[in-house]
Amino acid sequence: MKQGWVYILECADGSYYTGCTSDIDQRIGQHEKGFYSGYTSKRRPVKLLWSDMFPDMDQAIAVERQIKGWTRKKKEALIRGDFTGLNELAECKNQTHCRNKKI
C-alpha cells in the first residue's frame, strides 16, 4: 500500500486547512495554484505549517479526520511540536463525560 501524508496549511485569511495525500509536493502545488475549486482556492496564498508521513493511506486518512475535529489550539500545539500542551488540551474537562476525573 502507498504511504500517505497528512498536512496542515495556513490560508491567507489565517484559517487552517487539514488534508492528506500520497504525493505531498504535488498536492501543495495544487493548493498554491488553486487547482481544485474548494476551501483553499479562495484563500490563497497558502503556507505549509506541518506535515507527517504515515506508512499507508488508510492511517493517513484516519489521522486527517482526527485532526480535522481538533480545536485551533490543539492544531497549533501540534504545529509547534508541543506534545505536552497537546496532551493537556486533549484531557477531558467536562466532569459529566470523564469517569476518571478527580473532583
Taking only the tens of pLDDT, the chain with its 103 residues reads 799 999 999 999 999 999 999 999 999 999 999 998 999 999 999 999 999 999 999 999 999 999 999 999 999 999 999 999 888 888 777 766 666 555 4
Q: Report the number of distinct structural domains present in the chain.
A: 2
Do 55 and 29 fall within a single domain?
Answer: yes
Task: Spell out the alpha helix ranges (H) of 7-56.
Answer: 24-33
CA 51/CA 82 separation, integer angstroms: 15
| Domain extent for 15 | 4-69
CATH at residue 32: 3.40.1440.10
With a threshold of 0.85, does the pTM exceed it?
Answer: yes
Give buried/exposed letters for 22-59 (b at 16+ CB in 10 A, else e).
eebeebbeebeeeeeeeebeebeebeebbbeebeebee
